[in-house]
Each structure stands twice: as structure tokens, then as C-alpha cells.
Amino acid sequence: MHTTFRVLAAPPLLLFSCLALPACGSSSAGPAGAAGATGSAGGPAGAGSANTAGAAGAGDSSQLVGSFQIKLTAAANPGTGTTNIVGKIYDGPTPGSTIWDKPQVDGACTLTTPRIPFCNTACTGSSVCVENDTCLAYPTAHGAGTVTVSGVQTADGQRSFTMSPIANNYQPTAALSYPPFSEGDKITISAAGEYFPAFSLTSTGIAPLVLSSSELALKSGQALDLTWIKSAPGISTIHVKLDISHHGGSKGQIECDTNDSGSLSISGTLIGKLLALGVAGYPTVIVTRQAIGATTISTGRVELVVSSVVETGVTVDGLTSCTRDDDCQNGETCQTDSSCK
């Protein structure tokens, strides 16, 4: 049995694509490009600095039907990175094909395990099995007219610009600065109205997240301590997702929603139970700083999510991650779950 871990270049995860999917933190599946819930199996979808503005209808605010995501992604060189915006709105909530059960909650953190429901009669291509013998139809995306973004700076210094829907997807045509705002700045998205009536969303600028943790090692029964440069009070919250088996088909994960105070300790009890579920190659922890504003339209809740995401690898005793057989030693070979055995 190996007692050392060799850090190798992990295959990239499509984090931003994940943000454009429904209930990404809960690994729910839906139609490609669906607008995302930023909450998780361990917390409410609206966890964050939520502001409500410009309500345009009397829909159910508990049902997420769309989002505009402004995501900061740091680059290897300090002070550099990219800013991306995507948005999409549906005429109903997007059902998920995976149910995340919660066998244990410990403070701000929750251990969740996936369960795939089974339908005796197969669901059609326009629906998905969401519980045993229950199919739900996927919603349809529609436009809300021209959207004006204010408080986000473009590369040429403009602080306001518009986005028009293309196949009911919203993305800017102009290059954006990084970071495109200062911490605490007001950010507004205003939709002129089309299929959906006019509405507006307001959120808050955040500072790019900087982790100060290093050498993150998972050991059964031992707490995992995360630290980062904290934000100004009341600006943002922190979401953590620890998934150590995603390359082999997730067997479970730990998710935490906490204040942006600069530190979080995930209990040794939860770490031990997660390790017992199984591990695959390139385990990671994803830490997200976020500020969320929301409004309600006729079909449900629409969010404006401002986030900064950092993903970093964690080590596990006895695990060697790999992309090819040459990464392994002692006659072991690289398995389909990116681990040497």
C-alpha cells in the first residue's frame, strides 16, 4: 500500500459550465445550459448576500427558474484572471435526476450521498425521473428582452453595457476587466421585458477569493481546516464543496455554507465518513465566495449571483492520482477513476 501522494496535473473541471446548470452544487442534471441554483444540498439555494429588487410577478419565490452568473476566475499570476457572465431564464424550475440525501449535518457542513430514482416506465426525452415512478418535464427557456448590466467594468472602461438574448442565452459581447468592480460596489441587471416582463436584480461586488490554506490532507477522524482572506462584514458568504470521488462517479460529498469570516473547520467525523464512502483520483475542494440578489417573476425566482471560485487539490493517504500508466509505480496501472491500483 502506498503511503505517499504525488501531486499531478489534474484534468480540468468545467467549473463555469457547472454554474450554468441547475442546482450545480447538488449535481442535479437538466437540459444543457440551464440557469443554475447556487445553493447546495447542504444549504438553501439563496444562501448569500440576498437583496430583492424589482419584483415583476407573483410567482413562487422558492422555485428557482433562472439566474445571471458573474464569475471571477483567478489565473496563475497574482492579480490576473477572467470575468464571465451568463444568464438564462425558464418558464419553470428545472428538475434534477439525482437526489442528494443528507445522512449527517455537523455545524455549517452537511454530508450528502447521491441516490438515483427509478421509474418503471421510462421518462420521455423531454422529462426526467425525479423520484421513484415520477417523471417531470423539463422547462423551456425564454427571453426577457435586452438586459442592461451596470456596475461591471468592461476592458475599455465602460461601467454599463447591454446583452441581447441569443437562443435565449445571455452573454456579453464586450471583454470584461478583472476584477470588474470593487468590493461593496452595487451591481444591477435590468431586463426590458419580452416573453417575461421587465424586472431588475441587484447584488454586490466582491473581492477575488484568496485561499491561505496549504497542504490540505484528508485523514479519517481528523478535521480539515480551511483559511482564506476574509471579506468586509456583510458583503458575501462562503460555500465549500469537498468531493473526493467525482472522477469515479461521486459516492458522496461534503458541502458547507458559512460566513465569510476567513476560516472554516470541517469536522473529523464528517471527513471520516466521506473517506469511508470511497475516493477516486484528483480529489478536490472547491471554495466559492458569493453575493446573491434575487427577485420573483411570474414563474418563480431569478437570481443575480456574483462569485469568485478557487479549486485546489487535497491529498489522501494511499492514493496516487494518474492520467496514464506512467504516473503509477510498483506495477500498478491507471484506472478509469484516475487512480493507480
Query: Which 3 state secondary structure label does DSSP give 312?
Result: strand
Place 3 in a pLDDT band, splitting at 50, 70 and 90.
very low
Check if the beta carbon of residue 159 is closer than 8 Å to that of residue 152.
yes
Cα 223 to Cα 263: distance, rounded to the nearest angstrom? 13
CA dihedral 164, 165, 166, 167 (to 10 degrees): -170
How buried is 180 (Cβ within 10 angstroms: 0-12 exposed, 13-18 middle, 19+ buried)? buried
Cα 180 to Cα 168: distance, rounded to the nearest angstrom? 25
Query: Which 3 state secondary structure label does DSSP give 272?
Result: helix
| Residue 124 DSSP one-character state | P
pLDDT for the residue 57 = 57
Place 34 in a pLDDT band, splitting at 50, 70 and 90.
very low
Identify which of 77, 117, 111, 113 has the alpha carbon closest to the alpha carbon of residue 97: 117
- pLDDT one-digit tens code per residue, 64-111: 999 999 999 988 777 789 999 999 999 999 998 899 998 899 999 999
Query: Which 3 state secondary structure label does DSSP give 277?
Result: helix
Q: What percent of the chain has pLDDT over 70?
A: 83
- pLDDT one-digit tens code per residue, 256-290: 999 999 999 999 999 999 999 999 999 999 999 99
**For residue 337, is pLDDT > 90?**
yes
Cα 146 to Cα 134: distance, rounded to the nearest angstrom? 37
Cα 207 to Cα 219: distance, rounded to the nearest angstrom? 32
- pLDDT one-digit tens code per residue, 163-201: 999 999 999 999 999 999 999 999 999 999 999 999 999
Check if the beta carbon of residue 247 is closer than 8 Å to that of residue 338.
yes
Identify which of 26, 5, 6 has the alpha carbon closest to the alpha carbon of residue 239: 26
Residue 189: alpha-carbon gap to chain centroid: 20
Place 56 in a pLDDT band, splitting at 50, 70 and 90.
low
- pLDDT one-digit tens code per residue, 205-252: 999 999 998 889 999 999 999 999 999 999 999 999 999 998 878 899
Cα 89 to Cα 169: distance, rounded to the nearest angstrom? 8
pTM: 0.82
Place 41 in a pLDDT band, splitting at 50, 70 and 90.
very low
